[in-house]
Amino acid sequence: MKQGIYSVVSNIKIAKDVYKMILSGDTSAITAPGQFVNIKLDGFYLRRPISICDYDETNITIIYKVVGQGTELMSKLDPYQKLDLLVGLGNGFDISTSGDKPLLIGGGVGVPPLYNLCKQLLAKGAVPNVILGFNTSYEIFAAKSFEKLGVKVFVTTVDGSSGIKGFVTDALPLVGDYSYFYTCGPLPMFKAVYNATATSGQFSFEERMGCGFGACMGCTYKTKDGNKRICKDGPVLVKEEIVW
């Protein structure tokens, strides 16, 4: 983990209530796809944890949804404004277990951390398939970005306004065989994915956090191996340790 001051490069709306922000600064603390940053905002006591969508030597890309006053403030930030960030939080995804044909399953704002994961899997020679789930067509984002990486993308919408009508699990029969899976999204989706998947996999949990680095125990989740802190021991848990 590293604390630093980062500069807003851009901050644009990409879907209903969803924004993409690029921040410039030190990215050396990021060691795995699926880690997150914790952002300090003026006037708010708690930082806002946001998953890392992508990064390079000088920039971090995050995608976030406006759900409260904190993220509403973030949506109004202009280029060159400065933010205090804790960077390189969480364990992230382990790509060593992916096999040659992993499946990535994202729901809503659980989609972003799968993007850099997809890039890293491709770099090591794996061939991922991607399922992205949304409620309706005007909430869809990132699908074209994944397609530009050269992977097969299956989009589902609950109301059937775009792609496959239904939930992410309704796309599983179309994917075919897969060697392993990675998923991020809301708990109801997790439970469905857990029951519908045929292999082991990794789940990146979205939990409300206090400190973001394991000190307050506010995001503790019960597993088969005892209580784990989603911010420190997670956010990624493997399928075999999850208790519903």
**Residue 172 in domain:** yes
CATH number (domain holding residue 20): 2.40.30.10
Cα R_g (the chain), whole angstroms: 17
Could you give the C-alpha distances from 153 to 5, 96, 133, 224, in angstroms and in order? Answer: 36, 22, 11, 33
Confidence category of residue 167, pLDDT binned at 50, 70, 90:
very high
pLDDT tens, position by position, 122-161: 999 999 999 999 999 999 999 999 999 999 999 999 999 9
Share of residues in the chain with pLDDT > 70 (%): 96
> Do residues 125 and 84 share a domain?
no
Q: Give residue 100's identity as a one-letter amino acid code.
A: D
Provide the 3-class DSSP secondary structure of residue 103. strand
- The CB density around residue 100, as the number of other CB atoms within 10 Å, is 13
**Residue 199 in domain:** yes
Round to whole Å and give the CA distance between 13 and 30. Answer: 25
Res 207 pLDDT > 80: no
Q: Which of 68, 89, 110 is the last residue of a domain?
A: 89
Q: Which two tokens stand for residue 188?
A: 């109801």
Residue with tokens 């939930």: 167
> Do residues 121 and 147 share a domain?
yes
Give pLDDT, residue 238: 97
**Residue 212 in domain:** no
